[in-house]
Amino acid sequence: MTNAPTSSYLPWMTEGHEYFMSALKRIGDEQLEGPSALPGWTGRHLLSHVGHNARALGRLAHWAATGEPTAMYRNPSARAEEIEAGGVWPAPRLRDFVEDEQVRLSVALDRLTGVQWQAEVVTAQGRTVPATTIPWLRSRELWIHACDLPSGGDFAEFPDAFTDALITDALTRRRTGQSVAVGVRATDRETDAFPRGDVIVEGPSADLARWLTGRGTSPHLRTTTGAPLPQLPPWL
């Protein structure tokens, strides 16, 4: 989870959806037939995932609202099955699907009370978190996957505060179970937001976020010792 104020998460989710849809509108249906930036996924698979992710997070919102345990996915294979099923839908249906599921999730979150926002739910990775985490999880999906679309978005266009939160969140996840802790330093602006580590990688904040979330490296990234960049395990 990030250290950003909880009040930031819902605006980031809304802005992230707008950013994703703006990137999507620049892409023709025929481009969605081709590959996305994610190995093995076409653009249609990516849209299927983004729409089904909103639906899955809506299940967590239902859990928070009712107290009825409702997993994001019914079993370990359900996520992949949903993505594959939606990946064969026509592109216009997928565009509507992403929009409609985002609206449903937003409505469900708007209905949560103060007490319900603090209810504990369990993510697809098995982490127990308060419901306040749900809009952060959705924000992360929307902003990052906008950059996975064919001719899609760019990490350099993310809001600075969101980029900081994303880097911090990614660093926290990257350190889990690792013998060497990776830290970063942004070279494009002054910030002390990021954890230090045994190995420090420095470079522009957008490039750091892109690398930490498994979207490739950049010639602008380097370790402070001159050693090669650490090898990172797959993102999520």
Nearest to 207 by CA among 176, 179, 227, 229: 229
Strand bridging mode 128-130 / 199-203? unpaired
Q: What is the pLDDT of residues 191-236, one digit of tens each?
A: 777 877 888 999 999 999 999 999 999 999 999 999 999 988 888 7
Query: What is the residue extent of each domain of the chain?
Result: 6-153, 157-223
pTM, to two decimals:
0.93
Q: What is the pLDDT of residues 172-195, one digit of tens each?
A: 888 776 667 889 999 998 877 787
Residue 197 CB coordination number (10 Å): 17
User: Does domain 6-153 bear CATH number 1.25.40.20?
Assistant: no
Tokens, residue 161: 């505060």
Instruction: Spell out the CATH class of 157-223.
Output: alpha beta
